[in-house]
Structure formats: C-alpha cells, structure tokens
Structure 1
Amino acid sequence: MGQTLQKFKRFRPKAGFRALAILGVLVFGLFLSSCQRPTEKTTRIQLSTWGSAQEVSVLKSILKDFEHTHPGISVDLLHIPENYYQKLHILVAGDMAPDVIFTNSISFPIYASQGIFRDLRPLLAAQSADSDLAETQFYPQALTAFSWQPPSGPKILAALPRDISNVVIFYNRDLFAKAGLPEPKAGWNWEEFRETADRLTVDHNLDGDPDQFGFSFYSTPPLFWLPFVWSAGGTLFSDDLQRFTLEQPKAVAGLRFYADLRTKWHVAPKKVESGGATMSQLFMQQKLAMMVNGRWSVPVLREQAPFQWDVAPLPVGPSGKSAVGLDASGYAIAAKSKHPQESFELIRYLLSPSAMKKVTASGLIVPARRDVAESDVFLSPGQAPAHAQVFLDSISHGVPSHTPARWNEIAEELGLALEPVWDGQEDAAHAMRGLKPKVDRLLEVSP
C-alpha cells in the first residue's frame, strides 16, 4: 500500500502509468451499468460503490426512481464488490475518478488530504430553504467522522453520511436462560461482564477444553478491541493526530483487559480453539454466548439463527463510560467532477428520507439521518433485536473516526505488534512502547 500511495501522491501520472491504470481497470473487471439510455441533453454522472447483491439491488431501484424524477441526469453505476479502495486508487491516479464516490470515514483521509474530495458545505448552504437535506438532519458524530482539517484553511466536510457503523454485544438469550443468568443491561461494568462471560464458558464433555465460550475475540480490525481502550480512558492518537498514545497507562489497561479475556480467564477462544471458524459462525453454532459485532449482522441472524437473540451495550469501563467507535459510510464528490451540481442532486436524493428508508428496511445499516433512525423502519417493533435502540443510544458517547492519512500503514504495524499480546506472549505495555517510534514517524510524514 505504501508504494501505491507514493505513486498516488500528485495524481498527475505519466502517459505510461495512465495507460497502466486503464488496463488495470479492465483487468479488475470493473463494469459500468447505465440505468437508462441517455439523450443528447442528458448529463451523465458516475457513482462508485461496494456492497452485496442485495444492497446493490436496492440501490439500483433508488437510481431508477432518481432518473425518473430527474430526466436530465443519467447515472452510471460502478459496482466494485472487492478490493474497492485499491481499484479506486487506480481510477483516481488515471484521472478517471467517479463523480460520486461512496467511501467510509476510516479510508477517506488519504483522499481528503490530497484534495480529491470537494467540500460539501458550500453545496449544502446553497440549497433552497425547503430542502430536506441539512446538517441538522444527521447525527453530529457522523458529520465529525467525515470532517477534515487541511494544513491551511477551514475544516471541510468531505462526505455526507449514509450510515453509522458502531458495535454492540449480540447475545444468545437461550444460553443466558439455560445458565440462569439475567440478560445484560446498560450500565453493567467490566467485572460483571467478565463474570457473566465466565459462567457462559462451559466444558460440556468434561475434557478440559471449553465447548462453549462466553465471549468473542477479534485480533483485527481495531474497531472490536478499541472500545476497551476508550472505556478505560485511553486513546489511540492525540487529538491533533501527531502522536501515538496507545502506550499510555490507561490505554494499556484496556488492551490488557481485552487480552486477558483470552489468555488469563479463557472466556474467549484462542486461534486453535476456533477451528478456522469466524466469530459470527461460532455464534450461529451456539458455541459463543456473546459477540461484539455491528448492525450488518442483523439480516443473517434474523433469517438463520436457530435461537432467540438480542443486543446490549458494551460494559462500562474504569473511565465510567461505555465508549465504542463511530465510523460512517457516505457519499463524496470528486473535486475534478465536471458535474458537481448534478452529483449533489444525486446525493441529496440518495440521502432523502424515502431512499434512506428503503436501504434501512433491510436491517443492514444504522441510518445517519435522525428521522429515519428513530422511526419504526429502523427500530422494527416485533422483530429481533428487541432492543435496537441500543445502537442509537451508543451514538451519544461514541468516538467518531479520527484517523491519519497513513492509517493503512499504521494499522498494519499495529496488527503485527499486537499479535503476540493477543497470544499471551508479550505484555501490552512493552509491545506498545516498542511500536510508538514507528507510528510516530508515520504520523510525521505526509502521504
């Protein structure tokens, strides 16, 4: 990725690299699918996105409605289901960036730092008074996640959020009932959580190895273990993104607690004990009583789970908070787009209440629009999870994404340094002290 970013730096590639970029797009199998045949007076814009077949099917339906109500605009959908950002890099480097780009708040800084995204606040401000799209319609934390501070000048809004990604605890209600345990509620603390996970870890065949674990364990990505750092009062970076802070005592306490779930208390499975299965698969097989996961797990659980399940907030840590990450996905406009106004019209339609309700109805996302998130479309009375409000309650004390432009390289170093910690081979404090100089150097160097 580092070499790719260096080539990506100026976005003025030589003819040979531009040809390579075009060839790369063809090899990658990217395809364009026009939603309708344009007329000579039609403005054609391009929208790129990832997503499952189900998600893209809903999107195509929304685009069809958009074109019907906006006959002067035609949308070419560029669906990139795998390796999205690698392929987007090639498109941008080849001066072929889509007009509208679906992105997430973790990866957007590399583009925002290079001026690839247009500031959307002027377009928002230029809307008519009766527009149904305004910053006040969104959870402010989701807008914060898409804010970017250039080296000079005012902070920009690089994208408008479609959804929020946060994590909660999914739990098997049947296993709780079998163990005679009360179901988890807001306000439970780390010790109560650990004791619950311990009672839900069971060796059914008495061979000395648990057949059922109380809690999940993810080494990566960080969104699964960072809540323990934040809830302990620690941080990953300084507020100005100039210093790595995971070696500080409160952050280390969070890392240790999470590692101990596997290595000390053995309430979470080790690598060899998962048998190659994912945490979601173990949960579905009722070999996990609780797991950390996001809203994206809901559709599959509704369709396939052979047990009763619900969601609960993560436990309150020593800081007195239950703090989880708050990432966002949303729509940006390429700075070089020749059709910024038409692109903004598309975004406004994609984020309208009617379109957002169609996407939300699948159960896949937590909508970033307040009016949709707080409606029955999201809360779904009568369907699991019964306590869907937990997703919304965690937003108020969520930690918005705040990653540096070289996050991908930092995340790779972080994963390597933490692997022996998760396996019980190295103490978190020692590992993070050794990692700090590497990460600080990456934070000093602009992309």
Structure 2
Amino acid sequence: MSRTARVARVTSAGLAALLLATACGRSADSGPDKEAASLGEGPAKGTVTMWSMGDPDPTLESLAKEFEKRNPDADVRITPVPWDAAHDKLTTAIAGGNGPDVSLIGSTWMAEMAAMNGFEATPKEISAASFFPGQWATTTYQDTAYGVPFIADTSVIYYRTDIAAKAGVTQPATDWKGFAENLAALQKTAGKQNPELRYASGMQTGFNAWLFWLPLVWQSGGDIYDPKSKKFTFDTPEVAEALTYYGEIFANKMAPTDKTDGQQGFHDGLIATLQQGASVGGNLHKDSPELDAVWKTMPLPVNKEAAGLAGGSDLAVFRSSDNKDAAWKFVRFLTEAENLAAYGAGTGQLPAAIGAWDDERMTGNTKLAAFREQLDVTKAPPALTTWQQIASVIDSELEKLALGKATVQDVQKALQSKATSIGTGR
C-alpha cells in the first residue's frame, strides 16, 4: 500500500539503538523537547543533508535543484535509503547523534523516534491548517508536531466495472450494508456470468491487515485506544462490529485467505474489488493501460461515519543537525502546495497539503477524486511508541478470524489482553 505499510521488524540493531537512546543525552523519562525554534529571516545557507527512502528519486532531486536556485548559498545532498533498512538506520542515527539534517520518516515510526528525542519540534511558521488533519496528526507525539506531512497515503475501493456490470452492479453502494450486498451479488457470478472471477473482494489478511481493518472501527464510531484514560478499547461494541464485518467477508468466501496477490488478481479479473492505495492505480495504468476503461475508484463505504487511515511519510529535522534553519527551510519549500503538486504529478504519490489538490496536475486525473475525498476523513493510528508491536498483534488475530480459527469474541479478548500487556511505551 504505502511506504508506511512496510513495517520494519525489530532487530538487534534497532533494540540496541533504543537502549542507547536512553543512555545518551536526555533520559527516556524526560521525553522529547517540545520547544519549537523559529525560522530565521533570509535565504537558506550551507549544506543540507537528506535521507530519502527507497530508490533514487529524480522528482525530489529536481525540487532540490530548484531550492538551490532560490537559495544560491545552499547545497542539498540527498542519499536514498532502502526501506527495509530504514527503520534501524534511523534509530541508530538518532541514538548516536549522527543522522542527516532532514529525512523522510514512515508515518507510523514518528512517535517511536520522537520519543527518542530524535527530532526537532515543528516551527510555528509551518501551519497545520495547510495539511489534511489526519496527515498532520501522523507528525504529532504528546500533542507536539515533530515533522511535516509530505507523502499522504490512504486506501480507497478499486472496482472492475466490466465484472460489476455482469452482476447487475452499475455503481457500488457507499454504505456498509449496500456494499456487502454488492459483494454477495458479485460472488454469485463467479465461474458463471464472470467465468474468471474467483472472489468479490481482495480484503487483506495477514501482514498489514490492520491498515484495512482499523478504519472499520472508526467508521463504526469507535476506536481502539482512549488517549485520555490511556487504555486500550478493543473490548467495545464498535470493535466487535468492525470485526464482524471483516470476518463475514471471509466466512462467506468472498476474499482469499491464501496470500493471493490482490493487485495481480484484480488485473486478471480474478478479484472484483480491491481496497488499496494510489500506487495500485499507478501500476495498473503503467502496466496495463488497456484496462483503464474498466476500473474505477470510490471512497470507502460508510457505516456510522466516514473514515480512512492516514499513512504515508513525513519530513523531520534531526536534533543532531548542524544546520537546522536551512533544513527547516528546505522542508517548508518541499511541502508548499505547488511543490507537492509537482511531486505528486512526477511520482504518482498523494500530496499531503490541501492546496496541492487545486493544481490542474491533480484535478486532471479523475481517478484520484476518490482519494481527495477520502483524505478529508482520514485518521492517524494511535501515536504510541509500541504501535508496531500492537499492529503485529492485530494482524495475527485478524488472520485467525479470517481463517475461522477464532470467533469475534475470542479476537476481542485476545486483542485487549495482548495490547494491555504490551502497553503504550514511553
């Protein structure tokens, strides 16, 4: 789905970094510094080192060159870091005080690394109002922002119009009940009117299933954690409702449980609907432009309220930076609406700034309209330093439910117990 979806496993290097973090500088109990510096006047000066994530990014490099043109005394140096090594590299750099000036950070890592006192608080000159609320929330830890949203990510429903038409579904329903009826109608045509079709839904189970299930809880009007009481709330009726809806898709054999490649299945007509992020649409268009006319997107179906998950990547300035002012000015430049629109057009990523979506480079792609609508109602997962452990437990319990090895009540009890045992961290 997103860069965020590539959750790093805790390794010995990462654990060592966390232990070192408590021994260096501020203590673990003291928490991160919440004091935000103000940006200086005038252009940026000096060298700004940045870690990007994944493959080399020509669009990012192009924006960096534009920044250098506007700031002649600034020199931006970008180093790509593979996503599978990024988490441990970042935590090790924070612990050792030798990170770059600025880096892309997977949004679900922000709380953990902010708690290590790794990042500077966001300057007041950068306004939260410029960004989708859910995306801004991914930057916050203990009510303080420690970065700026850069790449937004959320999921929508992709559906094959050619397959849906043969099931009498001209436009999928926008509510849970109606959409479930649509899935049942689609499933009835599998191997018949739709001879290649095997599953109505590509709902995910196993690794990273939490990304697709957690919005169901919010859509039901609930949550899994109460920040006021600092207690987990997996034992609520709303969570039960979300688990029931999720589980019934698998109980009715409308989604695969064998780790089928959902994107490939959607492409091949084996799967009729798929809940995924923008990268899937980009891949479909790139690899199979002949299918552009037979797939569309829509926002996630609504239960009691509309909701989606805010993922993606944020930009953070390291406390160890020797050139914080120039680093923040580069971050501010990258996250201006015009530049985020340029980045989105060049990479297919979703801009995190609201104003970027008014740019014709974004409005011209009608298949992005569902994402724009979904971003208005996204929420961030709980800003807990133990979130990766909690997410792993959710994945494991959802898989048991999907495979029929546990009931909704079993899963609720296990989630509440295991999450409480893991705790909220620092």
Q: Distance in 2 between matches of 1:139 and 1:58?
A: 22
Q: Distance in 2 between matches of 1:241 and 1:413?
A: 21
CA contact (8 A) 1:13 1:94 kept: no
Instruction: Report SS of the residue matched to 2:271.
Output: coil
State yes or no: 1:432 paired with 2:412: yes
TM-score if structure 2 supplies the norm length?
0.84
Q: Which has the higher contact order (CA 8 A, sep 6+)?
A: 2
State yes or no: 1:44 paired with 2:54: no
1:115 alignment partner, one of 114, 117, 135: 117
CA contact (8 A) 2:138 2:383 kept: no
Structure 1 residue 384, shift from structure 2 partner: 5.1
Q: Distance in 2 between matches of 1:312 and 1:438?
A: 35
Instruction: Report SS of the residue matched to 1:121.
Output: coil
Match of 2:75 in 1: 74
Structure 1 residue 411, shift from structure 2 partner: 1.8
Amino acid at match of 1:224: F
Match of 1:356 in 2: 340
State yes or no: 1:313 paired with 2:293: no
Match of 2:87 in 1: 85
Match of 1:412 in 2: 392
State yes or no: 1:281 paired with 2:264: yes
CA contact (8 A) 2:197 2:269 kept: no
Q: Distance in 1 between matches of 2:137 and 2:81?
A: 26
Structure 1 residue 7, shift from structure 2 partner: 4.0
Instruction: Report SS of the residue matched to 2:200.
Output: coil
2:18 alignment partner, one of 8, 11, 26: 8
CA offsets 1:148-174 (integer angstroms, 9 cap, x no match): 21xxxxx32111111321111011112
The two structures, once aligned, show a CA RMSD in angstroms of 2.5
CA contact (8 A) 2:160 2:295 kept: yes
1:260 alignment partner, one of 241, 248, 251: 248
After superposition, residues 22-421 of structure 1 pair within 5 angstroms as 43-53=46-56, 56-83=57-84, 84-122=86-124, 124=125, 134-149=127-142, 155-184=143-172, 188-201=174-187, 205=191, 211-219=197-205, 220-221=207-208, 222-240=210-228, 242-263=230-251, 265-271=252-258, 277-305=260-288, 306-307=290-291, 308-317=294-303, 320-362=304-346, 364-380=348-364, 383=365, 385=367, 388-421=368-401
CA contact (8 A) 2:53 2:82 kept: yes
Q: Distance in 1 between matches of 2:156 and 2:148?
A: 24
CA contact (8 A) 1:310 1:384 kept: no
Q: Which moves more between the two structures, 400-409 or 166-175?
A: 400-409
Highest Rg: 1 or 2?
1
Structure 1 residue 445, shift from structure 2 partner: 4.2
Amino acid at match of 2:391: A
Instruction: Report SS of the residue matched to 1:214.
Output: strand
Match of 1:23 in 2: none
CA contact (8 A) 1:172 1:309 kept: yes
CA offsets 1:114-168 (integer angstroms, 9 cap, x no match): 211101134x2xxxxxxxx54332223322221221xxxxx32111111321111
Q: Distance in 1 between matches of 2:226 and 2:144?
A: 20
Structure 1 residue 437, shift from structure 2 partner: 2.7
Say if 1:309 and 1:445 are closer, same or farther in 2 by CA, change over 3 A. Answer: closer
Q: Distance in 2 between matches of 1:287 and 1:295?
A: 20
Amino acid at match of 1:77: I
CA offsets 1:325-346 (integer angstroms, 9 cap, x no match): 1224221100121111010121
* Number of aligned positions between the proteins: 389
Say if 1:2 and 1:80 are closer, same or farther in 2 by CA, change over 3 A. Answer: closer
Match of 1:22 in 2: none
1:423 alignment partner, one of 400, 403, 410: 403
CA contact (8 A) 2:99 2:318 kept: yes
| Over 6 Å off, 4+ runs | none
Structure 1 residue 214, shift from structure 2 partner: 1.0
Q: Distance in 2 between matches of 1:82 and 1:118?
A: 22
CA contact (8 A) 1:11 1:95 kept: no
Amino acid at match of 1:269: P
CA offsets 1:162-207 (integer angstroms, 9 cap, x no match): 132111101111212233322125xx2222111111222256557x
Q: Distance in 2 between matches of 1:193 and 1:370?
A: 29
Say if 1:414 and 1:277 are closer, same or farther in 2 by CA, change over 3 A. Answer: closer
Match of 1:29 in 2: none
Q: Distance in 2 between matches of 1:356 and 1:5?
A: 35
Q: Distance in 2 between matches of 1:138 and 1:389?
A: 17
Instruction: Report SS of the residue matched to 1:289.
Output: strand
Q: Distance in 1 between matches of 2:112 and 2:179?
A: 38
CA offsets 1:333-361 (integer angstroms, 9 cap, x no match): 00121111010121122123342222111
| Residue segments in structure 2 that go unaligned for 5+ positions in a row | 1-9, 25-43
Q: Distance in 2 between matches of 1:67 and 1:96?
A: 24
Structure 1 residue 281, shift from structure 2 partner: 1.1
Say if 1:399 and 1:249 are closer, same or farther in 2 by CA, change over 3 A. Answer: same
Instruction: Report SS of the residue matched to 1:361.
Output: helix
Amino acid at match of 1:280: Q
Instruction: Report SS of the residue matched to 2:120.
Output: coil
Q: Which moves more between the two structures, 109-118 or 405-414?
A: 405-414
Say if 1:445 and 1:136 are closer, same or farther in 2 by CA, change over 3 A. Answer: closer
